[in-house]
Amino acid sequence: MSAFAGKRVLLCVTGGIAAYKSAALTSALVQRGAIVDVAMTKAAEEFVGPLTFAALTGRQVYSSLWDAPESIPHIRLVREAQVALVAPATADIIAKLAQGVADDLVTSALLAARIPVLIAPAMNDAMYNDQATQANLCTLRSRGYEFVEPESGFLAERETGIGRLASEDAILQALETILARTQSLKGKRVLITGGPTREAFDPVRFVSNPSTGATGIALAREAALRGATVTLVLGPTHLAPPAGVEVVDVVSAQDMYDAAVGPAQTADLIIATAAVSDWRPETTSPQKAKKGEGDLDVHMVRTPDVLAAIGREKHTGIVVGFAAETENHETNAREKMARKHLDAIAVNDVAGGRGFGAQTNALTVLWGTAGRRDLGAASKEVLAARLLDCIINDVTSD
């Protein structure tokens, strides 16, 4: 059976001479069993008419936000598709995506996409090599967009250089790889803990930390995109959890222990990103504590160790922990991995406030006695994908 059989692909065609090749690409996808929706920019229509794509797909072609507005097409198209392909992707569309511009159907849909987006650039080599274009490409890569690189050869301007749309085979192979990844956790139960916990001192004061839960939320979204049934046990945060994920809201370390330890025993994969408070006030005042003249002494006691309990009581699932370290990062992380009976641990440097609350992070994954993979520095969405790839391809295969 074809890897594309029954898969939903959103093809975004923009205004370059290579747009005519998108018709052949559409035919190839349809012949392989894909369900293809086509969205075009107005400039693309100067090269290929919508009727061509409608005939090839047997489906309506969209070129305006006002096409079937009652169904809100820029949202529906990316919700129904499993992958979006921009081919050809002009310098203009790349710049708009890098800047977050949403001034037509295609840019609005891609800005709303929570699915993998594959970009196939095609333009003159001078435009491709321009510093602005290269900076925009770097920006999109850092946000998790994927690329099938252009080829060198004869260009529309009767010049030779890099900028030709990648071959049909290269684009199909890149799409197939992405679709395979989106099914890599199909049928698996994944439990993720995220966010901080709060340990109450009185009704208006608590002990906590700067975690926002962004990493746990990004991992939950990515695992769901890969076909998993996901439960996210989430501490207090202002961030919205992803759609299609069961969310269990908790406040304290005890709440997180109660919500996570039992379900972890039946999960196939547990990733503990939560920044659980290690101590709590021994007593909690039922009323707001009043400020006196002297100092205040508060006796702190240990909270339950959620990750250790999961590692100790797990059955067949893979348990991955996180270690936020300020010194001796890998030594401390490996000690934690052994002490808490983990299969792997992702360690990051949080000295100087790095990691917590930031849009980007840097992770290194450790497993076994010598397993190690540096995931580099990137957005938390990109790192979520890299971490799951590492768990699937490296940790579980050792």
* Residue numbers annotated as active site: 209
In sequence order, which ranges of 145-250 are alpha helices (DSSP H)? 168-182, 214-225
Show Cβ contacts of residue 148 under 8 Å, excluding neighbours closer than 6 positions: 118, 119, 120, 166, 170, 171, 174
Q: How many CB atoms are closer than 10 A to CB 282?
A: 9
User: Measured between alpha carbons, how far is residue 193 from residues 106, 127, 188, 355 in Å?
Assistant: 35, 45, 16, 16
In what side-by-side order are the strands of the sheet with 8-13?
61-62, 35-40, 8-13, 83-89, 117-121, 146-147
- The DSSP output letter for 196 is B
The helix or strand, by DSSP H or E, that contains position 82, with its residue range, turns out to be none
